[in-house]
Structure 1
Amino acid sequence: MTTHADFLIELGTEELPPKALKSLQDAFAEGLLSRLGDAGLNFGAADRFGAPRRLAVVLKDLELKQPDEAFERRGPAVKAAFDADGNPTKAAEGFARSNGVSVDQLERMETSKGEWLVYRGVEPGRATKDLLPDLVQATLDALPIPKRMRWGASRDEFVRPVQWLVMLLGDDVVPASIYGIEADRFTRGHRFHAPDPIRIKRPTDYADVLKEQGWVLASFDQRRATIAEQAKVAAEAKGVTAVIDDDLLDEVTALNEWPVALVGQFDERFLDVPAEALVSSMQEHQKYFPTMDEQGRLASYFVFIANLESKDPSQVISGNEKVIRPRLADAAFFWDTDRKTPLVERVEKLKSVTFQQKLGSLHDKAGRLKAIAGEIARRLGDDVEVAERAAWLAKADLVTDMVFEFDDMQGIAGYYYALHDGEPDTVARAILEQYKPAGAGDELPTSRAGMAVALADRLDNLAGLFGIGQPPTGTKDPFALRRAALGVLRILVERELDLDLHELVAFAADQHANLPQRETVVDQVVDYALDRFSAWYQDDGFRPDVFQAVRALNPSRPLDIDRRVKAVAGFSAMAQAEALAAANKRVANLLNKAGDNLGTELAKGFKQGGPAWLARQANPSLFVESAETTLWDAIETAEHDVAPMLDKTDYQGALQRLATLRDEVDAYFDQVMVMAEDPAVRANRLAVLARLRQLFLQVADISVLQQ
């Protein structure tokens, strides 16, 4: 008897959103496999397919029936199930009847609370073909579709109108209706090459039949690889190299069922326009792959993907060349027109552009950026005039025709226009780099002025928006403040700029004319940024407690924080770490209660100065045990040794040196009663421990480390 069969599900639709196709394909496949697994159905290999007009999954060796499942139902207690004469009560009879058996067919089960009647049986597994329609529908209903649509008179909703449905289990069609479409075995091929229905005999024939009869490469990955290879070969035939952006490749893959790479060409006169504008026009607007010559310069050829095999490819090429020509002509016109007005004259026009209703215009922002970037350059010992000039001009290209038409040219257009205006290269470079990093993993500014302007822009956004009570909430972050905070941290750490984040935010906040939450904004922004720091370290594989051990000191210099975190991470892997962390925790607990165990005068000083003050009150003349003297000598030697290390921010070396205190610390707690009866001795011992703790707190609070 056959127990397994291959399975095919294909949902045919109107053209699916190209940027969502890959995620829809994967979500459909993973959702269906998960639901089959939850239903107890096993299967072999699984193949997923996604093309402009279809989502499909093929499973090998899917079980045809759920496994039978043994069950046990507990009924009434035996003492309630039978009367004094041993006859079944209504409770017993009702329980038996509900299970379709007689009372004498019930079993008994002994528990700690007495004896109970039970019914044990086996629930037969359902046939897979009966389960599949609901499992498929549930999977489709759960797909990540932000906006669904209805079509015709139907009330059904999906991302695009559904046109056909194939569901085969083995050689048989699964009886099902999805979105009003009855399942059968007929798929559809390419709109033009194969418009007639195509019969699928067996599930595993699916991809081959579509390719051979339907002119459709159903596999997303196969089409993607085919397009990349075809584009490469087509470009090389013209002596150039195709520039294949991964995101664009995914989008083009989602737009074509039967890809054919062709090469077009535009007039070389357009190469006078900044390459970024031409690339933007080709990639964003036309979905073309640009090409580069042997010198790495933009070439006049472009590769495009046709969704068919034309009998006359030259006509297809000519048509695409006609389409791209006016786009490039627009870019050339904007380039020529914009250069007639220097950037510095455009700054005035920023007064008519609102940055944020409560934070003023872009002209206001330009003034703040100039002040903040100049202050950053001053703190770093860099050229203040260059940073201020770049910041003042940074947003001027936002009122150019080029950026109005090609919004991804902001900063880039400003760079070229600044050079044309005769601005120093350092100023132009900073304008170009102001938006870096644009996201996680993106490159950072390389010029000092670029770092200053990039930091200023992000600090202004953070201080301003937090200051008016508009921080990110949930998934809403219209001003990309999460990315801004992470960008600030990356620039400061990776470019090794030892600046105080608290001071930078305070300075940025002071440049705003009116911030309702000025009193709290600095702490809010710093805490928000450091929360991003925590996630950053976890993504890099650091334990959360390692970062918390540093953050417990309330530091605000990101570069210094980074050095401390890496030092603590190294320390936490040492053999001595666990014992010293436990000792520090014990000391911290003792010091938290120290006020109740000190004399009046010491308690008063401790209340005002805390453990750091108490540490300075230790008196070796009050030592009683030899272990006290040993630890004291070890602390003094360690203080002397780590001082030059701390001066050089060699936190790793400092912690490695402090790790050698383990034996003296262990001996101290083994041989010394800290809470001695003599008040003076007790207070002195607490002071020694405070000094020990202050020694470690120069790097981190290792008592936070998990043991």
Structure 2
Amino acid sequence: MATRDLLIEIGTEELPPKNLRTLGIALRDGVISGLANHALTHGEVKWFAAPRRLAVLLRDVTEKAEDKAVEVLGPPADRAKDDAGNWTPAAQGFARKQGVEPEALQAIDTPKGIRLGLKQTVAGASTAECLNGIIHSAVTDLPIAKRMRWGASREEFVRPVHWVVALFGSDCAFGEVLGIATGNTTYGHRFHSSGPLTLEQPGDYEALLEGHKVVADFERRQQMIQEQVAVEASALNAQAVVDPDLLDEVTGLVEWPVALTGGFEERFLEVPAEALVSSMKEHQKYFHLVDSDGKLLPNFITISNIESKDPAQVINGNERVIRPRLSDAAFFFQTDKQTTLEARRESLKNIVFQQKLGTVYDKSERVAALAAKIAGAIGANVDEASRAGQLCKSDLATDMVLEFSDMQGVAGYHYALNDGEPAAVAQALQQQYWPRFAGDNLPSGPVATCLALADRLDTLVGIFGIGQPPSGSRDPFALRRASLGVLRILVEGELPLDLAQWVHTAAQGFEPGVIAPDSEGDVVAYMIERFRAWYEDENIAPEVFRSVAALGLTQPLDIQHRVHAVARFTQMSEASSLAAANKRVSNILAKLENNHSLGEVNTGLLAEGAEKALHSELQNVSQGVEALLADDNYAEALAAMAVLQQPVDAFFDDVMVNAEEEALRHNRLNLLKILRDLFLQVADISQLVVSR
């Protein structure tokens, strides 16, 4: 089958840099999917994304899909004609539906008998004929949150489109896409290149653009930036801090990256480093530099989109731009320090946290009381936890946080130290929002831990309590992140706190009637459910979590220990058989009207050897398991129970559970209930039986 290379490029105004990678990959996937829908094959695929273009290059795209034999079945052959030999209405209707005369139909032998049918060969799709539709669908399906129109056109895209390349081999005329006729003309760098560039073959694309100062390959451009930044930092014996999100954004801003190093006055280093970094990173897209001890240096690296003949002028321009931003940060820092965090609490009464839940001041009062109680439970300093709660939101009223929103907590830390607050209180203010994202650090001190837990629990209980839980993708109060934060703090911090208890305690901190009485259980269930995704990320099978969740436990650390114990148990050879047996026992006991009326086993009624053996083994195992469970050693407890596999299997093979004699039947059910209750002390392993 003949093949050609295929190039598709959408040329635009500057695209959103933060979404550039996503858009490039999505265009690639859309084109691949479109070809697959027409059974068109291809070879190697490469995607491109630069500020003014999205493109995909596919090697060895077949010109035409293979023809396909199609067999369509109609009514039974014995109903094709009537007694007079005329075609029946059923046969005529089937033929008409297929667009043929009845005489063209065939008798086809099928497993259900001979049927009237039609065998046809459907011609394979032509790439040239399908290409416009494939491009259109790929572009339409791009993940664009908000599309725009331009000029008098009714077409919509993320940015105005200026050219479209659709080059299949040497052919380029494939109709219009986004109102523009496809062609083989592209454009180079906005400043280093002028006029159109003609592509002779798709494979020329990358080299042609690079010759005109455009590195179209997103990944390669990003690698160039990293290498250049490392070289610039090395010249100062420094280390550049390269944030992955900032790196993606900067890669989306430049077509021809050129790294340049600038500086600022050392006097600005008196300002908290976080504020300086925020200003350089968020507003100017600079990479900051640190020394071998991690201390911020008065330098930055910027990525220019031009190769200037006078780089010093470009550097000077960047230094002039950043200086006012740093001056603002220095001014805010000095001004804010003139008012204590305690004095700022009064202004929090004018900031609404949530209409039904009161002001930020009200929240700080609740958090302070809850943090103090948690401190008492885990042995932290109660007074410091309470004080941290009172001051935890005061920095929201500072100029620094109003200007640099990501300074929340960090500003509070510096101002608390300036005010002479205890070091543990200042640390708690800084770490109250930790962990901020997956993999982030946890609060490192006990007071900080209390504050982080109290703040999140107060928000969760409050928002659920007024009937505004997350729904779908809507989660304005970041309750999912808050829940995962609580779980991580409790599990990784090895704090044996019970969620149900502390959710109830948090609920008592609100004014009477604010929190719906039935919402506490919803909060706990919602938080425990976050474990499901947690364990999926750890590649633990869903049924393992279900087996523990079935017990209705509410202590995250205990749940963690049990889930990992069950996960280890599933790797044992006995696990499958014991899980199936527990499932069988569960089903048997579920049919009893008075399950809980079952009592002790009467050894005198044990008639069969298999039930005697099972009873004896249960007694032996129970004694050892009891000691292991007392130490929460669930893994070893399950391993000890694994020896029950053979006696359990023998019991079900040799013993009739539903014996006609009632006393015998109840005695055997008592025996099975003991077996089931033994495993339920760890998990409901009957949940491990997966239906196929």
Q: Same fold (TM over 0.5)?
A: yes
Q: Deviations over 1:239-296 (max 9, x none)?
A: 3222111110100010001111111110000001111100000000100010112332
**Which residue of structure 1 lines up, in the alignment, with residue 639 of structure 2?**
656
CA 1:646–1:153: 2 relative to 1, 3 Å: same
> TM-score, normalised to structure 2's length?
0.95
**Which residue of structure 2 lines up, in the alignment, with residue 548 of structure 1?**
546
Of the three residues 384, 387, 390, the one matched with 2:385 is 387
Q: Does 1:170 align with 2:169?
A: yes
**Does structure 2 retain, via aligned residues, the 8 Å contact 1:347–1:396?**
yes
**Does structure 1 retain, via aligned residues, the 8 Å contact 2:49–2:216?**
yes
**Which residue of structure 2 lines up, in the alignment, with residue 21 of structure 1?**
20
Distance (whole Å) between structure 1 residues aligned to residue 113 and residue 580 of structure 2: 49
Distance (whole Å) between structure 2 residues aligned to residue 96 and residue 646 of structure 1: 73
SS in 1 for 2:517: helix
Q: What letter is aligned with 1:384?
A: V
**Does structure 2 retain, via aligned residues, the 8 Å contact 1:107–1:118?**
yes
Of the three residues 325, 331, 334, the one matched with 2:332 is 334
Distance (whole Å) between structure 2 residues aligned to residue 66 and residue 171 of structure 1: 19
Q: What letter is aligned with 1:683?
A: H
CA 1:507–1:168: 2 relative to 1, 3 Å: same
CA 1:72–1:689: 2 relative to 1, 3 Å: closer
Distance (whole Å) between structure 1 residues aligned to residue 312 and residue 110 of structure 2: 85
Q: Which piece of structure 1 moves more, 351-360 or 513-522?
A: 513-522
CA 1:706–1:263: 2 relative to 1, 3 Å: same
**Which residue of structure 1 lines up, in the alignment, with residue 143 of structure 2?**
144
CA 1:669–1:108: 2 relative to 1, 3 Å: closer
Q: Does 1:699 align with 2:676?
A: no
**Which residue of structure 2 lines up, in the alignment, with residue 154 of structure 1?**
153
Q: Which piece of structure 1 moves more, 112-121 or 263-272?
A: 112-121
Q: Structure 2, unaligned stretches of length 5 or more?
A: none
Distance (whole Å) between structure 2 residues aligned to residue 699 and residue 92 of structure 1: 65
Structure 2 counterparts to residues 315-354 of structure 1, below 5 A: 315-354=313-352
Q: Which piece of structure 1 moves more, 402-411 or 376-385?
A: 376-385
Distance (whole Å) between structure 2 residues aligned to residue 402 and residue 703 of structure 1: 56
CA 1:94–1:532: 2 relative to 1, 3 Å: closer
Q: Deviations over 1:339-367 (max 9, x none)?
A: 11111211221111110000000111001
Q: Which piece of structure 1 moves more, 383-392 or 233-242?
A: 233-242
**Which residue of structure 2 lines up, in the alignment, with residue 251 of structure 1?**
249
CA 1:631–1:66: 2 relative to 1, 3 Å: closer
Distance (whole Å) between structure 1 residues aligned to residue 101 and residue 589 of structure 2: 73
Q: Which piece of structure 1 moves more, 423-432 or 72-81?
A: 72-81
SS in 1 for 2:518: helix
Q: CA deviation at 1:439?
A: 1.6
**Which residue of structure 2 lines up, in the alignment, with residue 11 of structure 1?**
10
Distance (whole Å) between structure 2 residues aligned to residue 268 and residue 165 of structure 1: 50
Q: CA deviation at 1:688?
A: 3.0
Distance (whole Å) between structure 2 residues aligned to residue 223 and residue 644 of structure 1: 61
**Which residue of structure 2 lines up, in the alignment, with residue 209 of structure 1?**
208
Q: CA deviation at 1:663?
A: 3.1
Q: CA deviation at 1:515?
A: 4.6
Structure 2 counterparts to residues 393-412 of structure 1, below 5 A: 393-412=391-410
Q: What letter is aligned with 1:574?
A: M
Distance (whole Å) between structure 2 residues aligned to residue 86 and residue 48 of structure 1: 62
Q: What letter is aligned with 2:658?
A: M
Structure 2 counterparts to residues 398-547 of structure 1, below 5 A: 398-547=396-545
**Does structure 1 retain, via aligned residues, the 8 Å contact 2:148–2:157?**
yes
**Which residue of structure 2 lines up, in the alignment, with residue 186 of structure 1?**
185
Q: CA deviation at 1:311?
A: 1.5
Distance (whole Å) between structure 2 residues aligned to residue 521 and residue 403 of structure 1: 33
Q: What letter is aligned with 1:696?
A: F
Distance (whole Å) between structure 1 residues aligned to residue 68 and residue 618 of structure 2: 68
**Coordinate RMSD, CA, aligned:** 2.2
SS in 1 for 2:174: coil
**Which residue of structure 1 lines up, in the alignment, with residue 310 of structure 2?**
312
Q: Does 1:614 align with 2:614?
A: no
**Which residue of structure 2 lines up, in the alignment, with residue 683 of structure 1?**
666
Distance (whole Å) between structure 1 residues aligned to residue 111 and residue 199 of structure 2: 60
Q: What letter is aligned with 2:401?
A: V
Q: What letter is aligned with 2:209?
A: L
Q: Does 1:355 align with 2:353?
A: yes
Distance (whole Å) between structure 2 residues aligned to residue 666 and residue 309 of structure 1: 77
**Does structure 1 retain, via aligned residues, the 8 Å contact 2:308–2:314?**
yes
Q: Which piece of structure 1 moves more, 348-357 or 168-177?
A: 168-177
Q: Which piece of structure 1 moves more, 147-156 or 436-445?
A: 436-445
Q: CA deviation at 1:204?
A: 0.4
Distance (whole Å) between structure 2 residues aligned to residue 45 and residue 349 of structure 1: 62
Distance (whole Å) between structure 1 residues aligned to residue 11 and residue 447 of structure 2: 54
Q: What letter is aligned with 2:31?
A: L
**Does structure 1 retain, via aligned residues, the 8 Å contact 2:48–2:217?**
yes
Q: CA deviation at 1:666?
A: 3.3
**Does structure 2 retain, via aligned residues, the 8 Å contact 1:464–1:515?**
no
**Does structure 2 retain, via aligned residues, the 8 Å contact 1:26–1:48?**
yes
**Which residue of structure 2 lines up, in the alignment, with residue 600 of structure 1?**
none
Distance (whole Å) between structure 2 residues aligned to residue 698 and residue 125 of structure 1: 62
Q: Which piece of structure 1 moves more, 514-523 or 502-511?
A: 514-523
Q: Deviations over 1:192-232 (max 9, x none)?
A: 111211111111001100111x2111111111011111111
Q: What letter is aligned with 1:486?
A: L
Q: Deviations over 1:663-701 (max 9, x none)?
A: 333344444443344433333333333223222221112
**Does structure 2 retain, via aligned residues, the 8 Å contact 1:468–1:515?**
no
**Does structure 2 retain, via aligned residues, the 8 Å contact 1:594–1:686?**
no
SS in 1 for 2:158: coil
Q: What letter is aligned with 2:598?
A: L
Distance (whole Å) between structure 2 residues aligned to residue 81 and residue 670 of structure 1: 56
CA 1:495–1:195: 2 relative to 1, 3 Å: same
Distance (whole Å) between structure 1 residues aligned to residue 170 and residue 392 of structure 2: 66
Q: Deviations over 1:298-322 (max 9, x none)?
A: 0111000111011211111111100
Q: Does 1:569 align with 2:550?
A: no
Distance (whole Å) between structure 1 residues aligned to residue 598 and residue 72 of structure 2: 68
Q: What letter is aligned with 2:51?
A: P
Q: CA deviation at 1:548?
A: 1.4
Q: What letter is aligned with 1:478?
A: P
**Does structure 1 retain, via aligned residues, the 8 Å contact 2:569–2:638?**
yes
CA 1:79–1:180: 2 relative to 1, 3 Å: same
Q: What letter is aligned with 1:168?
A: L
Q: CA deviation at 1:380?
A: 1.0
**Does structure 2 retain, via aligned residues, the 8 Å contact 1:129–1:174?**
no
Distance (whole Å) between structure 2 residues aligned to residue 105 and residue 206 of structure 1: 51
Q: CA deviation at 1:80?
A: 6.2
Distance (whole Å) between structure 1 residues aligned to residue 677 and residue 243 of structure 2: 54
Q: Does 1:42 align with 2:41?
A: yes
CA 1:222–1:89: 2 relative to 1, 3 Å: same
Distance (whole Å) between structure 2 residues aligned to residue 176 and residue 517 of structure 1: 61
Distance (whole Å) between structure 1 residues aligned to residue 644 and residue 456 of structure 2: 44
Q: CA deviation at 1:73?
A: 4.2
SS in 2 for 1:187: strand
SS in 2 for 1:518: coil
SS in 1 for 2:35: helix
> TM-score, normalised to structure 1's length?
0.93
**Which residue of structure 2 lines up, in the alignment, with residue 632 of structure 1?**
615
Q: Which piece of structure 1 moves more, 668-677 or 473-482?
A: 668-677
Q: CA deviation at 1:467?
A: 0.5
**Does structure 2 retain, via aligned residues, the 8 Å contact 1:509–1:518?**
no
**Does structure 1 retain, via aligned residues, the 8 Å contact 2:5–2:169?**
yes
Q: CA deviation at 1:441?
A: 1.7
Distance (whole Å) between structure 1 residues aligned to residue 422 and residue 113 of structure 2: 92
